[in-house]
Structure 1
């Protein structure tokens, strides 16, 4: 062990509430101590009382585990507030149109803030407390206009929560080879600046973005994610058991089971020890 001691990071499983199979996988990894945070979709179909109770028990079994709100503003999910716009068939816009509309400044910030506030209120009602942190499904918290509404809602309703930024700590040459992550880097610059001005804490480093559409070695990805991640940094992941609910809502299916298998296995435990990383 180095004199500086181990790095302590957040390993956060996104999408609790999207389906029973995803929920079960996340609770399994929490209980095993293989993740230490999960982000909850309050607009998901699998976030009833029993699922909330089971998640709370799993998190309580691991001291320091965090439960956050996964603000969701993209299809195929529906808003909680009454006057959210624009919508398509009553649902939020798909991701590409959401980003395009935000870049063109087509949103009313107060309407977006009201929806995020409604999701924060739903979390508080379900869990009996405010979230430990707040992030966004498909990284919507980083988008222009939405980021201002997001930070305003968090500052008002959950001022002690930290928020997720998605900028990495890697050499430029490596970043240029990963277009998706490069976009997140770019969007995170202004997000961090605005969060800092608002006095809202955020993670100092981020990793976890890769092409979910390709069959790939998640263990190799995880090794890369940990490379250069600072103390207090965050790695997102998407473990889950595939079920019909998930298939009907999200294109990321089989890759979730590959992530789950790796995170629950011995190779991941060895990597954490080798890299002197602790989930804390």
Structure 2
């Protein structure tokens, strides 16, 4: 049996996403989820997540690109990338945002996050990753960080997978080892969010699974009322992950769904 962890991004972004994640945790499908603590729904959604503190990894989904009603500091993804690679980001703003999101997590969950990842993978960008890792060392962080260094490639999305990995995964891996912070070794879940045959994508990932593979997903029970660029993909993901087909696929490829086994 190969140990695989499915991790759902974007908990608390909206009610449809949070409800799907809670249900899939209850069904034993998900063993990790990362939270958007700046959402106006965070406090009420977190109450429903707290009973699973000892069953799944609950992390902080570091956000600098999605605006919530609180008026949080945000950039467009393009703008953030340009400023990160040109080293023109204001470090004080980044530190302030990380601290705010961290404190919102700790104040509600009563503990540090089990792991850190980033909305649109921004945690691996230059400047941001250095600030984040210094912050985590100051907090005596004992969890893990999501890394895209060793992804499972889907043939149709090889370029996208390579580009996302190239946005800082190698540098992040080196920095994590230097700071003795754990990280996942293998990663999957990258596609264009337009492919409606989500089952086939997962069958490829599962058939190529390595021990302690982390698979990113984005389920939602129904299409949210507000605009979401990947809203239809979210529903397709949810429908597959709760299906008998998913469980048959796990049996077929001898998958043991479990929490991530992170390494340094």
Give the TM-score taking structure 2 as reference length: 0.90
CA distance in 2, matches of 1:42, 1:141: 15
> Which runs of 5 or more structure 1 residues have no equivalent in the other structure?
1-5, 81-89
User: Cα deviation per residue 1:222-242 (whole Å; 9 max; x = unaligned)?
Assistant: 122224332122100000023
Q: Is the 8 A contact 2:152 2:187 kept in 1?
A: no
Equivalent residues of 1:66, 1:132 under 8 A apart: yes
Distance 1:176 1:258 in 2: 19
Name the Cα RMSD after superposition: 2.1
Q: Is the 8 A contact 2:39 2:70 kept in 1?
A: no
Structure 2 distance, partners of 1:65, 1:205, is: 19
Question: Do 1:169 and 1:228's aligned partners in 2 also have CA atoms closer than 8 Å?
Answer: no
Q: CA contact under 8 A between 2:46 and 2:108: conserved in structure 1?
A: yes
- Superposition deviation, residue 260 in structure 1: 0.4
- Alignment: residue pair count: 257
- Structure 1 pair 117/53, CA: closer, same or farther in 2 (3 Å)? same
> Following the alignment from structure 2 to structure 1, what is the Cα–Cα distance between the partners of residues 149 and 243?
28
Provide the residue aligned with 1:261 in structure 2. 239
- Structure 1 counterpart of 2:176, from 195, 198, 202: 195
Counterparts of residues 1-280 of structure 1 (less than 5 Å):
6-48=1-43, 50-57=44-51, 59=52, 64-77=55-68, 91-170=73-152, 177-186=157-166, 187-212=168-193, 214-245=194-225, 247-248=226-227, 250-280=228-258
Shift of 1:244: 4.4
* 3-state SS of 1:178 partner: helix
1:18 Cα deviation (Å)? 0.3
Whether the aligned pair in 1 keeps the contact of 2:149 and 2:165 (CA below 8 Å) is yes
TM-score by length of structure 1 reads 0.85
Instruction: Give the Cα–Cα distance (whole angstroms) in 2 for the partners of residues 158 and 269 of structure 1.
Output: 38
Q: Deviations over 1:52-71 (max 9, x none)?
A: 111122x25xx641111101
Task: Please give the alpha-carbon distance, in whole angstroms, between the structure 2 residues aligned to 1:53 and 1:23.
Answer: 11
Instruction: Please give the alpha-carbon distance, in whole angstroms, between the structure 2 residues aligned to 1:7 and 1:153.
Output: 34
